[in-house]
Structure 1
Amino acid sequence: MDFGKILTAMVTPMKDNSDVDFEEAGRLAKYLAEHGSDGIVVAGTTGESPTLSTDEKLELFRVVKEAVGKDVIVIAGIGSNSTANSVALAQKAAKTGVDGLMAVVPYYNKPSQEGLYQHFRVIAEASELPLMLYNIPGRTSINLLPETVLRLSKVPNIVALKEAVGMMDQVSELKRILPEDFMVYSGDDSLTLPMLALGCSGIISVASHVVGDEMKKMVDAWFEGDTKKALQWHLKLMPIFKGIFITANPVPVKYLVNTLGIKAGKVRLPLVDANPEEKEFLTNLLKRVKEG
């Protein structure tokens, strides 16, 4: 399965009382599909997965897939630091109509590379859906090494990796040793173009919530061979790629989504909303990028 080139790690809209706003989630998913996204990742870190219940996640999977239909890939975030819980959620998610699953490296436990291999293997074998691995050492404290990804690539339905390690040498090694059809996606907006240059498949983006059309122009230019144009877009978008992480994700992007007229709402504790200074910075940043 081809997951596409731009996938958005979607925020989870919340009502004023912090309940999930499922109706608005469907509306946001449609908006993203109309503004550059080939696919949507639901209940990932940007979707505040640590504070979502299993029932909330499953309903989000159903609602988002129903909203975007067959033309847009929906990937369900099912990973946790409990293999058993991840397996159970994978099995339930497979019944909601989603197209694939994503599982993050277990956080806090600090497993060995063998432990990581066994964790992901067991999750993959719990469902027939294609599985994407997610490596983000800055949040998990463990780096999923290229050699372990190579082992996992031999599990039939492990087909992709979201790589947010931030080291191009590691990305180069991944592309050197992995099968050509194994998809590697950037997990950092600012590294989209550098990773495309290394032969990666695309980006799992946060910024695409607000500059999805512009990112599509950048990515399309790259794949059409217009590297100069792709670079111009990369440089133009760099301020927003970096600026939307002025405080903990997804606080900034959720604020900006609200400014678009989509009711993303607030974040759940322990996260708190952007302060007035951050809001002013973000508003001006998006305005400059859109007008510049």
Structure 2
Amino acid sequence: MTFQSTTSGIWIPLITPFKAGELDESSLRRLVKHYSSIGLRGFVLAATTGEGQTLDDAELERLASVCADETSHCSCEMPIYLGVSGSDPRKVEKRFQQTKHWPIDGYLISGPNYLRPSQDGVKRHYEFLAGSTERPIMIYNIPYRTGVNVLNETMLELAALPNIVGLKDCCGSPEQSYDLLRCAPKDFSVLTGEDPFFYNAMVHGAKGAILTGAHVLAHVHLEICEDLHNGHQKLALEKWNRVVHIPRLLFVEPSPAPVKHWLWRQGLIDSPEVRLPMLPIGDSLAGKIDAAVNLQGGTDWRI
């Protein structure tokens, strides 16, 4: 199977469960086992939703090891990508060396944050990184966090590199996203990373998505993809309209606290803990999520 064929469909930017301040391996195994069984295409670990900036090196390695161990028991191929960020490409290259023997399949790499380089600087940043690893790279374009937008002209030049295989698109501009979807090469996978934008992105030709909401809406996302593939756009829209309010709930307060509360209420994790500077959700939002979980027929997944 080629890199390109694996970077499509619905991916999950997996939350990192904590309990009493430590990595909760029991809940992590439960999560991975569950999501490996329902048709998702891959995992992204330690990115924004996974609170990667709060994890130390030992926790990152353990996170990858546990996830890989659990996915090895499933019958489907589930690539594992590690979220990586940094403004200094030399430091990112060192991260590649540190993780060389970790059981991961690729990297999701956000743009160089804070420095706000030129587009040529952005291009050279990713070119350097692509030449520093044999593993596939997905670009994570999220300018409202990094301060730099990877524009489409730059993106298309980077797409020509053999191990830059796709994009998690959070550019914040529908016009930019649609233009890229129209002109992206066939072997470059544009995956939306904006939960409320999921349906529109798929209709306009996205090859999939990497969504926080996949933690709670994976079955709906998968059904919508199947409906669109079979030409049933009206049915797909009806399904999306029934759940479109849920992504809004998951981002009323800083992510991933809302989705962690949801998963805790479902029984998929033992605690909704987040790490500072993130905080637990307030009582008002907790009540709304509790009501939504009950309405969705929340299932206790404790095993």
TM-score by length of structure 2 reads 0.90
Residue in structure 2 matched with residue 112 of structure 1 by the alignment: 118
Deviation, 1:75, is 1.1
Deviation, 1:286, is 3.4
- 1-side partners of 2:117 and 2:11: how far apart? 28
- 2-side partners of 1:88 and 1:54: how far apart? 12
- 1-side partners of 2:296 and 2:99: how far apart? 37
Which structure 1 segments of 5+ residues have no match? none
Residue in structure 2 matched with residue 205 of structure 1 by the alignment: 211
Deviation per residue, 1:248-282 (Å, 9 max, x gap): 01010011111111225400001111111111011
- 1-side partners of 2:91 and 2:38: how far apart? 34
Residue in structure 1 matched with residue 17 of structure 2 by the alignment: 13
Residue in structure 1 matched with residue 199 of structure 2 by the alignment: 193
Residue in structure 2 matched with residue 276 of structure 1 by the alignment: 283
Residue 122 (structure 1) aligned with residue 125 (structure 2): no
- 2-side partners of 1:13 and 1:76: how far apart? 16
Two-structure CA RMSD over aligned residues (Å): 1.7
CA contact (8 A) 1:40 1:73 kept: yes
- Mapping for residues 1-292 of structure 1, pairs under 5 Å: 1=3, 2=5, 3-16=7-20, 18-69=21-72, 71-261=77-267, 262-289=269-296
Deviation per residue, 1:132-175 (Å, 9 max, x gap): 00011121121110011111112110010000123221112212
Q: Secondary structure at the match of 1:46?
A: coil
CA contact (8 A) 2:257 2:272 kept: no
CA contact (8 A) 2:199 2:237 kept: yes
Aligned letter for 1:276? D
Aligned letter for 2:209? I
- 2-side partners of 1:247 and 1:56: how far apart? 26
Instruction: Decide whether aligned partners of structure 1 residues 142 and 289 sit closer, same or farther in structure 2, where only a CA change above 3 A counts.
Output: farther
Q: Secondary structure at the match of 1:71?
A: coil
Q: Secondary structure at the match of 2:286?
A: helix
- 1-side partners of 2:192 and 2:227: how far apart? 17
Deviation per residue, 1:91-115 (Å, 9 max, x gap): 3334212122110112222222122
CA contact (8 A) 1:61 1:98 kept: yes
Q: Secondary structure at the match of 1:77?
A: strand
Instruction: Decide whether aligned partners of structure 1 residues 85 and 230 sit closer, same or farther in structure 2, where only a CA change above 3 A counts.
Output: same
- 2-side partners of 1:100 and 1:259: how far apart? 32
Moved more, 108-117 or 232-241: 108-117
Deviation per residue, 1:60-81 (Å, 9 max, x gap): 1222112112621211112223
Q: Secondary structure at the match of 2:49?
A: helix
Instruction: Decide whether aligned partners of structure 1 residues 76 and 274 sit closer, same or farther in structure 2, where only a CA change above 3 A counts.
Output: same
Deviation per residue, 1:163-195 (Å, 9 max, x gap): 012322111221233212210000112211111
CA contact (8 A) 2:25 2:66 kept: yes
Instruction: Decide whether aligned partners of structure 1 residues 36 and 286 sit closer, same or farther in structure 2, where only a CA change above 3 A counts.
Output: farther
TM-score by length of structure 1 reads 0.93
Moved more, 113-122 or 125-134: 113-122
Q: Secondary structure at the match of 2:166?
A: strand
Deviation, 1:19, is 1.6
- 2-side partners of 1:142 and 1:78: how far apart? 16
